[in-house]
Amino acid sequence: MDKPKPAHFLNANANGFRYVEKTNPQISNLQFLTYGVYELTGKIASGALAHPEEEALLFGWHGKVVVTVNGKEYALDRYDTLYIPRGATYRFAQESGESKVIVCRATADNTHPVFHSKWSEFSKDEKRIRHLKGKDVFLMFDVSEGADKLIAGFTLFQPHQRSYPPHNHTDQEEIYIFTKGRGSMEVYADEETKSFVRSVNEGDAVTIPILNYHPVFSQEEELDFIWCIAGNRYWVGDKNKDFMTGKVDKLTT
C-alpha cells in the first residue's frame, strides 16, 4: 500500500483561481456574446475548462499565464490573444503574482484550429494594423483565421480623439472592453433617441446590440479597448473604405 499523502490546508485568503462572468445573452440584449474575466492569484493551476457549444477568445490583460489547450502550452502575455475552439479543453497556470485574462465566447457549430496571436509580433505587423486619424486598430483575430462567428482586436486611441464616422452593423453585435485609460462612449439607434452616454474607465465594458451606433471618445490619456464581434466576420474599415477616409457623416455595414 502506498504511503498516505499529507493534507492540504486552504486558508480563507489563500491563493486561488476564479471566473467572474460579467454578461451573457440571458442578461443583455446580445444574441451570442458572453464576457467574463479569469483571475489568478499566486502559484496556481486551474482545473479543466471547456465550452461544449461555444468558441472562445482569451485576451491577456494583467500578468503572465500559461494556457494549456488540448495538451499544448501557450504563453499569454499582456494583449496576447488565444482562440479556443468549440469544446476544446483548456487550463490556466502561473508561478506567482496576480493575473487577469478576459474571455469572450459565442455559440458555434464547427471546430476550428487554435490560434495564438502575440502582441509583441502583431503590433509590428503592418498587415494587421489599420491606421486611422488619432488611433490604430490591431486585428488580432481576423477573417483569415478560422471561426464561426468571432473576430477581435485592440484599438488604441491617442488623447483627445473620437470615433469617426459613427457606424453601425446590420449583422454583427459587439462588446467593447476598456483595458487602459479613461474616456466616454455613446450607443444609440439614432440621434433623436440617444440616451446611452457614459464615462468609461479601465475594466469597464459596453455591449453593442445590432444596429446601434457606438462612437468612443478619449480624454487626456491613451485609451485602449478590446473590440470583440460575433456575427458575420468582417472589420468595418476593410468592408467599407468610407470608414477609413472619414468622408461620410455615418455609415451602416
- For 77, the grid coordinates are 502575455
- Closest listed residue to residue 227, CA positions, set 177, 187, 188: 177
> What are the phi and psi torsion angles at 120 (to 5°)?
-60, -25
Determine the Cα–Cα distance for residues 43 and 56; give it in Å rounded to an integer. 25
Chain position carrying cell 457606438: 214
Task: Show the domains of the chain with their CATH numbers.
Answer: 16-117 (2.60.120.10), 119-252 (2.60.120.10)
pLDDT at 30: 97
pLDDT at 207: 97
Q: Which regions in the chain score pLDDT beneath 70? A: none
pLDDT at 244: 81
Kindly report the three-state secondary structure assignment for every residue of the chain: CCCCCCCCCCCCCCCEEEEEEEECCCCCCCCCCEEEEEEEECCEECCCECCCCEEEEEEEEECCEEEEECCEEEEECCCCEEEECCCCCEEEEECCCEEEEEEEEEECCCCCCCEEECHHHHCCCHHHEEEECCEEEEEEECCCCCCCCEEEEEEEECCCCECCCCEECCCEEEEEEEEECEEEEEEECCHHHCCEEEEEECCCEEEECCCCECCEEECCCCEEEEEEEEECCCCHHHHCCHHHHCCCCCEEC
Q: How far is CA 107 from the centre of its chain?
A: 15
Query: Could you tell me which residues come within 8 angstroms of residue 232 by beta carbon, excluding any fewer than 6 positions away?
Result: 171, 172
Query: Could you tell me which residues come within 8 angstroms of residue 131 by beta carbon, excluding any fewer than 6 positions away?
Result: none
- For 25, the grid coordinates are 445573452
pLDDT at 195: 87
pLDDT at 131: 95
pLDDT at 142: 97
pLDDT at 150: 98
pLDDT digits 0-9 by tens, 43-62: 999 999 999 999 999 999 99
Chain position carrying cell 475548462: 49
Question: Does pTM top 0.85 for this prediction?
Answer: yes
